[in-house]
Amino acid sequence: MPMTAALFALLIQPSIQQDAWPQIEASSILTHIKYLASDELKGRNTPSEGLDKAADYLADEFKKAGLKPGNGDSWFLEANYTGRRGGASGPVKSVVAVVPGTDPQLKEEYVLVSAHYDHLGERQGEGDQIYNGANDNASGTVGLIEAGAALMKTRPRRSVMFVALWGEEKGLRGSRAFVQDPPVPLSQIIANINLEQIGRTDDNEGPRVEAASITGYDYTTLTDRLIEAGKKTGVTIEHHKRNSSMFFMRSDNAAFAAAGIPAHTISTCYIFPDYHRATDHWDKIDASNMTKIVEMVTDGIAITANSKDRPTWVEGKDATKRYREAFKELYGDKIAAKGLSFSPLSEQEKRPNLLIPSSK
């Protein structure tokens, strides 16, 4: 039977299903976390020399994996940080990298994957006073490296933007700066998956093995895609009845949600024994479990980036009302009604009104 042009196009189109990701190695995860949570970086405070070293390391790792710079020709989205109440001030930078999409039209749309790479720095006193922040949040940052490298080997239809953000511990300052001055129009970002504390399994409420929680679990249809990814990779996506809503506003997803973008944070532990303590060290990371979490995240990114429709906020919930309104303002009535894909608008995009809460 003669092959039609339509059939030929279908056969050569990249598959939108991914059955097995390139192996994500526990040894690679630990190598990255050991460096990011080392005493050399002195707790990655905002701003600090240690934070700058971490940023350069991340840019180098993205480059090695074949990703493209995410801010024009630059790996960095720079800003000036002004400390509060006499705190340190200075230049800071988020690290931005892109896996280019394969679809001629959809590649102009982005799934944004974020994690904050800052922590609490050093304190004065006896003994160990360097707050290395291995789980919070070197783990989430390493998730960006590993997911980006995997997706470069099987690129999805839409583009995927990875951003390591400064200043989360200072009040979501880095994500707020990103929303105010994004490297692409916000209306081209269809979803945000934020990674926070994905390396520990010793939650204060009990062991968390092969399981992850999502903040705002029932807020958007993005959760359905992550549940699907969890089933494929053997990770249970759980709804914590109290913390799912309570922690929704406490990480960088909150800045993107306030702009109207469907956004969630994925964690294995909400609170763990060394949370915001100097004892949050790399040797307490469960790297074997983290490989499964990163595989689930990577698959969830791919499902979202390959899907015909965009994620949307769930209707009829008081908790999502202001996000639904911001969604409609950002994307327009047609998108808000159906979550359909669309071509980027050529006119100047409106800046959304930000409703940013206090940080943790």
Q: Give per-residue pLDDT as tens, 302-349.
A: 999 999 999 999 999 999 999 999 999 999 975 655 554 433 323 322
* Single-letter code of the amino acid located at 98: V
- HSE, CB side, 13 Å, CA atoms: give it for residue 26: 10
Pairing of strands 76-81, 90-99: antiparallel
Query: What pLDDT shows up at residue 355?
Result: 29
As averages over each run of 10 residues, the pLDDT of the chain (360 residues) reads 40 44 88 98 98 98 98 98 88 98 97 98 92 98 98 96 98 97 98 98 96 98 97 96 94 98 97 96 98 97 96 95 97 64 32 30
Q: Which of left, alpha, beta for 249 (phi over 0: left; psi -120 to 50: alpha)?
A: alpha
Prior bond to 71 cis, omega within 30?
A: no
Residue entry with tokens 């050569």:
12
Domain ranges within the chain, ordered by starting residue: 39-333
Query: What pLDDT shows up at residue 336?
Result: 58
Residue entry with tokens 């969604």:
327
Query: What pLDDT shows up at residue 82?
Result: 93
Query: What pLDDT shows up at residue 2?
Result: 41
| Arithmetic mean of pLDDT over the chain | 89
Instruction: Provide, rounded to the nearest whole percent, the portion of the chain with pLDDT above 90.
Output: 83
Structure tokens at 296: 């689930």
10 Å CB burial of residue 69 (0-12, 13-18, 19+) is: middle
Query: What pLDDT shows up at residue 21?
Result: 64
Query: What pLDDT shows up at residue 338?
Result: 53
Q: Give per-residue pLDDT as tens, 81-92.
A: 999 887 889 999
Query: What pLDDT shows up at residue 127?
Result: 85
Closest CA to 285 of 98, 137, 65: 137
Query: What pLDDT shows up at residue 86?
Result: 74
Q: Which of left, alpha, beta for 339 (phi over 0: left; psi -120 to 50: alpha)?
A: left
pTM: 0.89
CA distance 307 to 136: 31
Q: Give per-residue pLDDT as tens, 111-146.
A: 999 999 999 999 988 889 999 999 999 999 999 999
CA distance 277 to 288: 23
Q: Does domain 39-333 have CATH number 3.40.630.10?
A: yes
Closest CA to 301 of 234, 230, 239, 216: 230
Query: What pLDDT shows up at residue 154?
Result: 93
Q: Which of left, alpha, beta for 206 (phi over 0: left; psi -120 to 50: alpha)?
A: left
User: Residues for the chain: how many in total?
Assistant: 360
Q: What is the maximum span of the chain, computed from C-alpha positions, in angstroms?
A: 80
CA distance 7 to 4: 5
